[in-house]
Structure 1
C-alpha cells in the first residue's frame, strides 16, 4: 500500500510576508510549480466528520489521488496514481476503483459512490531544502479567494517544529492558527 506519514507545519502569510520570504530565502532558484487540487466529499460531509480529506492533485501532467486521515504523528496519506481518464471519471461522478484508497474509505465506512466533486483550488508553489526540511511557499486561488502560505515538511516532528518557529521568529512573522487548504476551500465556498 502506498502510504506515508506527513509531518508539516503551516502558517498563513500576508502578501508582504510572502514576498519578504521569497526575496530573503533562496527561492529565486526554485521553479514555480503549478498544481490543482480537486476536492471530493459526501453530501453529509462524512470525510470531514472522520477528520479525513480526499483530493486529486494535478501536477506536472500527472494525477495523484490522496486520502488524508488523522494519525498520532501527523497525517496518514494513502496515494494512488490516476490516468487523465481516471481523473475525468472521478470528477464526473464515477470513481475509478483504486484498491488502497478504497480500502481506507471502507475502514471509514464511506462508499466511494457517495463522493461528489466539490471544485478546485489552484496553487503556485515553490519549494527549497532548508535545514533538513522542505520549505514551501504557496500562493493559492479558490472561490474568488487568494491566500499565501508557508509550509514546512519534516521527517522528525521536534526538529521541524524547532526550525519552523525559528524561521517565523527570524523573519518577524507572527504564528497564526492555519487551517489546511481543504478546510479553507470549503469555508470560502459560495
Structure 2
C-alpha cells in the first residue's frame, strides 16, 4: 500500500503534553516500536529515504518513505510479528515491492541492517482537521513528547495546525523526524559515525 503522507509536528514540553493528554484520555494508548534500517554508510539517508519496521503487540509493518514534492510517499507492507522479528534480527528484507524500490535507487537491500530503535506510546484521534497523534517517545535513555497532525491538504493543514497550537497555548518547537532524533542521539553517544 502506498499513500502520500503530509504531516505537521511540534515537540512539546511536559506541561503541554499533560494538558493535551487530558483531551485524549478516552483513547487507549498504543505502544509501538520503530526499528530503523540503513546501510553502514547510510545509503538510504543519502537518497533522502528512510525505512523502518514498526511493531505493535500483535502485528508489524515495514515502511519505506521517499520524499515527494509535498510530504513523503509512504510505502507500507504488513507482516506478522514473528516475520518482522526475523527481519529485524537478520536484516534480510524479503522479496517484495519495497525491496525493488530500494534496488531501483542502486542500494543493495542485503547491506541494510537495524541501527537503532525508538518506542512510542501513542494516542491517535481522527479530527475534522486530520489525524492527530500525541506521542511519548523514548530512545537511547532519552524521552520526548510530540504532537503530529496528518492531513490531506498541505496549505489548509498547516493553518489548522497553527490554529490548534494557538488555541491550546502551545509554543511551536521544531521537531526533526523520529529517525533524525534517534540518529542524533546515537551520534552524541558515539554509537554511530
Q: Which of the five TM-score ranges fits, normalised by the shorter chain?
A: over 0.9
How many residues are treated as equivalent by the alignment? Answer: 187
Preserved contact between residue 33 and residue 124 of structure 1 (Cα < 8 Å): yes
Contact 2:58 2:80 in 1 (8 A): no
Render the CA deviation track for 1:142-189: whole Å, top value 9, x for unaligned.
000000000001111122111100011112222222101010011111
1:161 and 1:20 map into 2 onto residues whose CA distance is: 22
Among residues 83, 88, 100, which one is paired with 1:91 in the alignment?
88
Question: Shift of residue 100 of structure 1?
Answer: 1.2
**Distance in 2 of aligned mates of 1:7 and 1:134:** 11
Unaligned residue ranges in structure 1 (runs of 5+):
none
d(CA) in 1 for partners of 2:125 and 2:102?
Answer: 33
My pick for the range that moved more, 132-141 or 78-87, is: 78-87
**1:89-144 Cα distance to aligned partner (Å, 9 max, x none):** 32223414242101110122111100011122111000112223111100011000
Shift of 1:84: 3.0
Q: Is the 8 A contact 2:91 2:114 kept in 1?
A: no
Aligned residue number for residue 52 of structure 2: 55
Task: Find 1:132's aligned residue among 110, 129, 134.
Answer: 129
Match of 1:19 in 2: 18
What does the per-residue CA deviation read over 1:49-106, in whole Å, with 9 as the maximum and x for residues that have no partner?
A: 1111110000241011000110112111111122334322322234142421011101
- RMSD (Å), alpha carbons: 1.3
Q: Tell me the TM-score normalised to structure 2 length.
A: 0.92
Q: More deviation in 47-56 or 172-181?
A: 172-181
TM-score (norm 1): 0.93
Partner secondary structure for residue 178 of structure 1: coil
The question of whether the paired residues in 1 share the 8 Å contact of 2:65 and 2:75 is answered with yes
Q: Does 1:145 align with 2:162?
A: no
Q: Secondary structure of 2:176's match?
A: coil
